Amino acid sequence: MTIAEQPHVAAGTTPTAGRTAEYDGTTAVVLEDLALAYGRTPVLTGVTGTLRAGQALALVGPNGSGKTTLLRALLGMVRIVNGTARVNGQAPGRAPAGSIGYVPQVADLDPTFPVTALDVVVMGTVSALGPLRRPGRRERERSRDALGTVGLSHVATRRFGELSGGQQQRVLLARCLASRPRLVLLDEPFNGLDQPNRDALLRILSGLKSDGVAVVVSTHDLILAQEVCEQVALLAGHQVGFGPREEVLVPALVEQAYGAGPEHAARLLGLPVAPHLPTASPVLSSDEAVGADPLPVGTA
């Protein structure tokens, strides 16, 4: 399904048919009627929208809706079968090394590997160095800065595997920040985080945005999405909405994307759910009441 065929597309998402925006240095991601496939099977269609530098985009939708697929497509790891994508002004996969940071949903590092937190972060500087060059003082300096950004300077010399799960995730985020990317892609970064780590991550994301970094976050948490992201892409194998959060995270579109009823949609959005009123009993006249059969005991 293309965006034009969808009945409910948030305002501000009208595709600019046939036209690819010129890169002006302030636009991190531009998608136009994008369709993605694994092999021959399209799994996500009709995605059109823009993310500007210094803003965050939430990818939300039910399981299997295409959030991770879209993130991976921005890295050039998934086949584009229709439409176009520009990432920092380039086709996906063509961006200069280190200009895009990615933290996958499942840690790609064996925690039993005997390396310190700082060593892990330094790994993030390697791709931008080019072949045959090894990280030096400048890279270690940047890596210490990145650890500071995620509030973990004090664990620099601790073994990565000994850190808590939330700390490990923040170290992996620091690894992604060490190359000073202009676009950061995070797959379900809030999963399994306790409140302090969650708050810390929210602060880190705000700081990145203030520094002009663009952020794309996939999340199941629509309340968090509203808190941290100016833009939202609501997916369900196709685009249900893409635009400002207040236009996309609305009950009608959430119901549509999740195939949910109004109560479920309200809960997902953190809106008050109308209390269930007991079904009104028919009002009987006193004559009818007298003649009525008594309900058996225990009958609801």
Ligand X SMILES: Nc1ncnc2c1ncn2[C@@H]1O[C@H](COP(=O)(O)OP(=O)(O)OP(=O)(O)O)[C@@H](O)[C@H]1O
The reply on whether position 55 binds ligand X by CB under 6 A is no
Burial of 285 from C-beta contacts in 10 A (0-12 / 13-18 / 19+): exposed
Q: How far is the CB of 199 from ligand X (least distance, A)?
A: 23
The single residue among 6, 68, 84, 206 that binds ligand X, judged by CB under 6 A, is 68
- Cβ 205 vs Cβ 174: under 8 Å: no
Tell me whether residue 74 or residue 163 sits nearer to ligand X (CB atom). 74
The single residue among 5, 11, 64, 223 that binds ligand X, judged by CB under 6 A, is 64
Q: How far is the CB of 45 from ligand X (least distance, A)?
A: 12
The single residue among 15, 46, 49, 66 that binds ligand X, judged by CB under 6 A, is 66
H or E, element range at 139? helix 137-149
- Cβ 166 vs Cβ 194: under 8 Å: yes
Size of the site for ligand X (CB under 6 A): 10
Tell me whether residue 45 or residue 231 sits nearer to ligand X (CB atom). 45
CA atoms within 13 A on the CB side of 156: 14
Residue 108: which of 120, 96, 125 has the closest Cα? 120
The single residue among 13, 69, 167, 168 that binds ligand X, judged by CB under 6 A, is 69
* Angular region, 132: left φ>0, alpha ψ -120 to 50, beta rest: left
The single residue among 13, 55, 65, 169 that binds ligand X, judged by CB under 6 A, is 65
The reply on whether position 191 binds ligand X by CB under 6 A is no
Residues that bind ligand X (CB under 6 A): 38, 43, 61, 63-69
